[in-house]
Structure 1
Amino acid sequence: MATKTFYVVQPYVLGKRGALKAGQAREARSAADAERLAQRLSATGAGAIAFSREVDPESDDAEPPILIASYGRVPEGAFEAG
C-alpha cells in the first residue's frame, strides 16, 4: 500500500453578519509551503489552517489529518471536521 501525503490549506472568511465561512481549499507542495500560505491567507481573510493527510490513492483510505498550523479566526472544531 503506497501512500501519498497531501498538504492542504483551508482559509476562512467573514460572511454576512460576521459568521465564519470556509473559503476555497488549496493544496500546497510541502508542510512549510502550507504553513506560509495559511499565514498569508489569514492576513487577508479571517484565518486559515494548514494540515497534512496521508492517503492511499488506490483504495482512497486516508489517515486522520495532522494539523500543521492555525492562524487567525477559524470556526470552533474546524480541524476535527477536516
Structure 2
Amino acid sequence: MKTTDFGVDSDSFLRLYAERKENMRSVMVTCYVVQSFERGKKGMLIPDLPKQARDEAHCKLLAERLASQKASVVAFSRTGDPDAGDWDDAVVITQFGELPAELLDLTA
C-alpha cells in the first residue's frame, strides 16, 4: 500500500480529498454593470468606463440617469463564481439607444 507524505494511504487521501472538494461550495455572485457609449466623430459608438451597481434597482437608476447624457446605455448582470472564473451569459436589464453590433451578437 502506497502512503502519502502525511502517512495516509493514497486511496484514503484521494477519497478524503474528493469528499472535501464536494463539500466546498462555490460562492456564486451577481455583478450589476452599466455600460455607456459616446458617439465618435465618424459615428461609431465608443465605450466609456463601465460602472458597477449595487443591485438591479440601482443598475436601472444609473442607466436611466446616463441615458439623457450618452449616445447609448446598457445595464446588465452576470452571475458566476469569480474564484473559478465561471460566468453565465449576461442578462440585459435595460437599454437606451443603439447598441454596437458586436454587443448585440453577444446577447443573441
TM-score, normalisation: structure 1: 0.88
Partner of 2:83, secondary structure, is: coil
Identify which of structures 1 and 2 has the higher relative contact order when contacts are C-alpha pairs closer than 8 Å and 6+ apart.
1
If you compute each CA radius of gyration, which structure gives the higher value, 1 or 2?
Answer: 2
Partner of 1:18, secondary structure, is: coil
**CA RMSD across the alignment:** 1.4
The yes-or-no answer on 1:4 pairing with 2:35 is no
Q: What's the CA shift for 1:76? A: 2.5
Q: In the comparison of the two structures, how many residue pairs are matched? A: 81
Q: Which residue of 2 aligns with 1:18?
A: 43
Counterparts in 2 of 1:56-67, with a 5 A limit?
56-67=81-92
TM-score, normalisation: structure 2: 0.69
The yes-or-no answer on 1:45 pairing with 2:70 is yes
Percent sequence identity over aligned pairs: 33
Q: Which residue of 2 aligns with 1:27?
A: 52
Q: What's the CA shift for 1:56? A: 0.4
- The gaps in structure 2 that reach 5 residues or longer are 1-25
Does the aligned pair in 2 maintain the 1:11–1:22 contact within 8 Å? yes
